[in-house]
Amino acid sequence: MPDSKTFLSMNYQLTGLFIYPIKSLGGIEVESAEILEEGFKYDRRWMLVDEKGKFLSQRQLPKMSLFKCSFSGLRILVEYQGDSIQIPFDQHSFNVLEVEVWGSKLKANEVDNEISNWFSKRLDVSCSLVTMTDVSSRMKEFVKPPFTSRVSMADGYPYLILGTASVQELNTRLLTPLPIDRFRANIIIETNKAHAEDEWEDAMIGDCVLKIIKPCARCIITTIDQQTSSKGVEPLKTLASYRKINNKIYFGANAIALNNGIINKGDYLTVY
């Protein structure tokens, strides 16, 4: 980390922290979160996979957005259309599957056959709920130091940071403003300059050191209303008019953590 005495630093308050325990299902806003190299503790450590072990997502099954998650003691509570199921944090079977996330393959344990059947019935797709255990290992490579990081079953990077001014700028261009949950970020930062996070590289929250790797390329999940599962063309249509580079649309920033720690809503992110 650069010496703060010789580098200009800026402080930005954390206004939102979100954990998405089961990939592509609803997120949970929390007051504090434990930072680990592979992502927040409990963030995308569970995933639904098809019979070939490939991950399921809202891209193919928009109604996955309707499965709402919360923490209940040492369990994840998943609610869907008046029904619910609880998944203990430490529950898993001895059934080890090879699963795949965007071409990245790793091993994971099925949680429980009955739980898998619960999801299969409600999604109308034969699927299994898997969880990362001691058999699971996934690495992400990138083009700047430290060049690699462990990552959970997130799409590509452990953390997604988003500035509030970026959302505000987008919403001034839309007929209907969008809520921040549409962008499924982990860390929301109060900013006064749209896309300030594009320019960040080294940052700290308390004693936790972060490295911002690159702007985040966005996909069609941003066009899915997280409350109704309906799909439209926004925000990608509008973002393409001013945030498109080399056929990719960027919004927010991908980041990694260089050490572990606890962060809280209201803390400050210091950018060097």
Question: For residue 8, what pLDDT is reported?
Answer: 65
Question: For residue 51, what pLDDT is reported?
Answer: 98
Say how many domains are in the chain: 1
> Residue 270: is it exposed, middle or buried by C-beta count within 10 angstroms (0-12/13-18/19+)?
middle
Question: For residue 9, what pLDDT is reported?
Answer: 83
pLDDT in tens, 39-83: 999 999 999 999 999 999 999 999 999 999 999 999 999 999 999
Residue ranges in the chain whose pLDDT is less than 70: 1-8
The 3-state DSSP class for residue 192 equals coil
Rounded to 5°, the CA angle 264-265-266 comes to 105
Q: Mind spelling out the 3-state secondary structure of 29-88?
A: ECCEEEECCCCCCCCCCEEEECCCCEECCCCCCHHHHHCEEEEECCEEEEEECCEEEEEE
Give the structural domain span for 82. 10-271
Judge whether 100 lies within some domain.
yes
Give the β-pairing of 244-245 and 202-205.
Answer: unpaired
Judge whether 57 lies within some domain.
yes
Judge whether 151 lies within some domain.
yes
pTM equals 0.95
Work out whether the CA dihedral 226, 108, 31, 203 comes out positive or negative. negative
Which CATH number covers residue 45? 2.40.33.20
Judge whether 5 lies within some domain.
no
Q: Which of 226, 215, 214 is nearest to 252 (CA)?
A: 215
Judge whether 3 lies within some domain.
no
Judge whether 2 lies within some domain.
no
pLDDT in tens, 168-197: 999 999 999 999 999 999 999 999 999 999
Rounded-to-integer distance, Cα 252 and Cα 230, Å: 23
Question: For residue 3, what pLDDT is reported?
Answer: 45
Judge whether 87 lies within some domain.
yes
Judge whether 44 lies within some domain.
yes
Q: Please, which residues bridge with residue 18 across strands?
A: 29
